[in-house]
Amino acid sequence: MDHFLYRDGALHAEDVPLSEIAKAVGTPFYAYSSATLLRHFHLFNDALAWSKPGHLVCFAMKSASNQAILKLLGDAGAGMDVVSGGEYARARAAGVPGDRIVFSGVGKTREEMQQALTGGIRQFNVESEPEMLVLSEVASAMGVTAPITVRVNPDVDAKTNEKIATGRKGDKFGIPISRASEVYAMAASLPGLKVIGIDVHIGSQLVDLEPFRLAYRKVGSLTEQLRSEGHEITRLDLGGGLGIPYERSNAAPPSPTEYGKLIEEEVGHLGCEIEIEPGRLISGNSGILVAQVIYVKEGEDRRFLILDAAMNDLIRPAMYGAHHDIVPLIEPAPGAEPATYDIVGPVCESGDTFAKGRTMPSVEAGGLVAFRSAGAYGAVMSSEYNTRPLIPEVLVQRDQFAVIRPRPTFDDIINRDTIPAWL
């Protein structure tokens, strides 16, 4: 569910007509609904309320990392899952305390470890033995103890897009669950580390709960095994990955409530504090991308809708073949004839295609359209390819909206480059 609905024939973000935002900031732009962001966060938070030792929903901020979004969620009590020094700095700048930040990722550098140990960290999710050795060294040299979980790779197929499945044995993530015993023994023997739990994350955009069940069951057995080997396992970080309905016409994927129940069934009896790292389900349907039709072009055997947004603004269709529903800002009249288009951007490669053969309400040059479900992995994955300025981000709350990242000018972009003195 989201807060982008037609009202009096015009698509709104909460109580604001999107055409009004378009007038104020120009197109293309991203707009987010505060109510949807908070609603999804609270759904997860409530779904884990059964956990007596406590729980923390750590927003995977790689999905949407604007300061305003982080502050909104952080103020509501969310923790953050960060994967770089930059994300750590962003989370702290948005006011999220270190003890609500978990650090994930296969390639943490010494500098990033020092940064997090200095600023405060809830835990590192360690992904390999070499990383563990380095963290032990860094923490010892600083005279502090780094709380850690070890990310295990449970060898479970998440049944999602190849590029975003992370829990099969050939994937680069975590340590093989079969070797967990020796890796935990190693962790216990190293100075500067305190083992507190287990971490797992099997992939993104999962629309079936079964892979989660398989993975969490394995984590449950591992918890018991590690405890019998003398380790104190008090926290389980169960990752993110719950999917969203990109196509309104499809059946809705499992809800955070069902997901929370599954977690309780599989690991609730262990008495561990529960952490999860959802990104997409919090931010995905909370954001849309609004673009303008520049031309409607008749091709040899098809009709192209050429938009002012391109693959540099939203890379998901080009990169993953991802589907985004695209709708006009003006609600089509009942019974209006739909049209079929290839929907493309102005970038100079054929990969700059948002949809092929898409049947949708007919639109004309100058008309505005919205890409739904673009709040996750949208703005954060955008670039300035073709020297197209990063597009503005706007946050809506009821009847008010604010630009939370302005559109840079051409000078802003050009002046970031410097010309060497010898030229």
Determine, following the binding rule CB under 6 A, whether residue 237 of this chain makes contact with ligand LLP: no
Q: How many amino acids of this chain bind ligand LLP (CB under 6 A)?
A: 20
Choose the binding region for ligand LLP from 16-24, 238-246, 291-299, 342-350 (rule: CB under 6 A). Answer: 238-246
Site string for ligand LLP, 68-107 (x = CB under 6 A): -------------x----------------------x---
Determine, following the binding rule CB under 6 A, whether residue 397 of this chain makes contact with ligand LLP: no
The smaller minimum CB distance to ligand LLP, of residues 23 and 169, is found at: 169
Chain positions 202 to 221 lying near ligand LLP, rule: CB under 6 A, are 204-205
Quote the least distance from Cβ 45 to ligand LLP, whole Å: 15
Q: Which letter, b or e, does each residue of 242-277 get, where b requires 16 or more Cβ atoms within 10 Å of its Cβ? A: bbbbbeeeeeebbebeebbbbbeebbbebebbbbbb
Quote the least distance from Cβ 245 to ligand LLP, whole Å: 14
Contact pick of 34, 45, 63, 115 for ligand LLP (by CB under 6 A): 63
Contact pick of 280, 324, 372, 388 for ligand LLP (by CB under 6 A): 280
The smaller minimum CB distance to ligand LLP, of residues 79 and 328, is found at: 79
Determine, following the binding rule CB under 6 A, whether residue 201 of this chain makes contact with ligand LLP: yes
**272 neighbors 236 (Cβ within 8 angstroms):** yes
The smaller minimum CB distance to ligand LLP, of residues 83 and 293, is found at: 83
Residues noted as catalytic: 348
The smaller minimum CB distance to ligand LLP, of residues 7 and 172, is found at: 172
Quote the least distance from Cβ 113 to ligand LLP, whole Å: 17
Chain positions 153 to 172 lying near ligand LLP, rule: CB under 6 A, are 164
Choose the binding region for ligand LLP from 36-44, 106-114, 274-282, 298-306 (rule: CB under 6 A). Answer: 274-282
Interaction site with ligand LLP (CB under 6 A): 60, 63, 81, 104, 164, 201, 204-205, 239-241, 277-281, 316, 320, 376-377
